[in-house]
Amino acid sequence: MGHKVVCLECKISFNQDIDCNNRKETPCPDCGKIMIFLPHRFRPPLKRNDKEWAVVKFLVNHGFYYQHIYETAETSNHVNRIDKYVSYPNNMREAKEFVEKYKQQAIKKK
């Protein structure tokens, strides 16, 4: 399944087939910075849509790389179960709420 490499500075993305054992860092063809790797479920905004790109950058900077995020429900015996997957927000107000609510599921980069 294909994935995306994305430059948040230049607001561009490219589809990329993935070989997880042989993945290479991809420099942005415009600015030369290393592009980030996002899963196939990421749908990039139009290049001219600065507000939506700001949301994408905010989410990525807070550890949300468009991985599955889920709601949990506690069962009667105190065991958490996945209830449903959550959609990613499209505006900054919702993105801030999303980051706060799901911060336990953020990916922590070194």
Tally of domains within the chain? 2
Considering the domain architecture, whether residues 30 and 50 belong to the same structural domain is answered as no
Question: Count of residues for the chain?
Answer: 110
Considering the domain architecture, whether residues 72 and 55 belong to the same structural domain is answered as yes
> Does position 100 have pLDDT exceeding 60, yes or no?
yes
Considering the domain architecture, whether residues 68 and 22 belong to the same structural domain is answered as no
High-pLDDT (> 90) share of the chain, %: 67
pLDDT of 83-92, one tens digit each?
A: 688 999 999 9
| Contact yes or no for 12/30 (Cβ under 8 A) | yes
**Mean predicted lDDT score pLDDT of the chain:** 88
Distance CA 62, CA 27 (A): 22
Record the tokens describing residue 66, joined without a space: 């468009």
Q: Which domain holds residue 37?
A: 1-44
pLDDT of 54-93, one tens digit each?
A: 999 999 999 999 999 988 766 666 666 666 889 999 999 9
Considering the domain architecture, whether residues 59 and 110 belong to the same structural domain is answered as yes
Return all residues near 27 (Cβ < 8 A) that are at least 6 apart: 33, 34, 35
Distance CA 95, CA 68 (A): 15
